[in-house]
Structure 1
């Protein structure tokens, strides 16, 4: 992972460095900010290569960005971009498309070599994730991919699926988890192409993308309902808007079944709570994670980790 922020530059040089070296040199865009506001400028970003794509997370104070035809000629990208807005919102405009606002939690997509302008809404500044997937790494080479002008996702059913894939991809970047980053990147790209009508949902590519995204979403629904006594395949299938049979089919292709995933998530949550709240009663932790009894929790924990919860808690930090 590459991380950089303006703290590494003298205050009077920060915006100029951001504009010339980072914005133009790394991202191929033109950044502008009134001269009297440059002394207070702050920006940071991280860049991770994952699964054939590049995941950027960017935070910065208010400024404007343009990717003009000259910027594109200077630094062509030939990639699909999927944007996840994390801040207070932003304005986004294609030079040959209607302007639009993108709210916190929303998504947009475009081809890198289509002109656009963008700026944060209000004074909150930028905070967004950008996944760039090279076109030559996609399973489809439809010529319309290179004609994608910037636009938000209009299909509300895709938004939670996109959110789950982005969350899993970000976790894979942070903790080097066992999540298949390549499948997540391809799923995000093909979900964008489904939304634009380039990939059919029922096609081989469309079904694979939806399967990966629904599995990510199902796991996150499980993690968010561990204490719910009604946590069962029926509840998760209803929230996912699929049949129970389809839900079980999603987990058939995964390393763990639905019930194994529930148990694994409950165990991981209990380990987190024991680290974060060392004085909390183990019985209370077991109940809060959805275990039906303390005896069940001890049995399952010992089977998974070869020790009792109390022994795990007693370990030194370096042994955890």
Structure 2
């Protein structure tokens, strides 16, 4: 069968189609949202941990420089020194890095919740095929991503220049700053740059998330043929069949119970069976409006009592009617006499004003 053209996919995707895509790891994902979380976490980490981290590094470097004269030069000594410097750096930056790692995870969870799928990393020929790769390189998605990258570079770059411009003259003379003044100046400038970039990325991330969501929904659209095939598959699923049957039974029972207040009499067994009959002058035969067993029978009795409908206990007749007559059908001819006696009894009660 020839592959269907995208123009034929005009139908909204079913929930099953969306669920299957999610199981494959195919979900709408915005890189800009992840970038926003990372940049925001980096800015907060800088404001929260820069003092303690710089203090740790400063103390470590002071100790290192204070014993510079005793440092041995050699392969083993240099290896130990490099290890010490690395461990000191990791200890000083552990909290900021952990903060940013958590932000990266949260950025993905916020977009699609918890999702675990090995499908995206499963080796596939199409991923290494030069022809397929060439097609992806010049696809509509690639061109859009390229345009977005250029636009983001220009917009964020402009925002950063706007933040730095008031301090432009000071940047040229930072070498003349006292060490005590250089640190707060640098810290303030970095925070302003990150804050400006974060403000612009907030808008870009929101717009990109909406675009990615819309693009993903467009990719999930289905053709009429796909809808028919999915419906056939679901119809053959025993679980789906059982669910459909349950829904139909619930709707039928609800409609049946709504007819009980229109009944002329309820014939019971007395609690295991209940059959609601309706008879008016001009009808060929009494009509069965509702019938039920056990719990449903009790509900029919409760509705009848609420609407003051006569309840007549006749176990043999109740069992026979329950077994032989369907809802909305007339009673069989062999039960005319027995039902006529019950209806006559009820009408007699009404004439005497007892009902």
User: Structures share a fold, TM > 0.5?
Assistant: no
Q: Give the alignment's TM-score, normalised by structure 2.
A: 0.18
More helix per residue: 2
Structure with max Cα Rg: 2
Q: Give the alignment's TM-score, normalised by structure 1.
A: 0.19
Relative contact order, higher structure (CA 8 A, sep 6+): 2
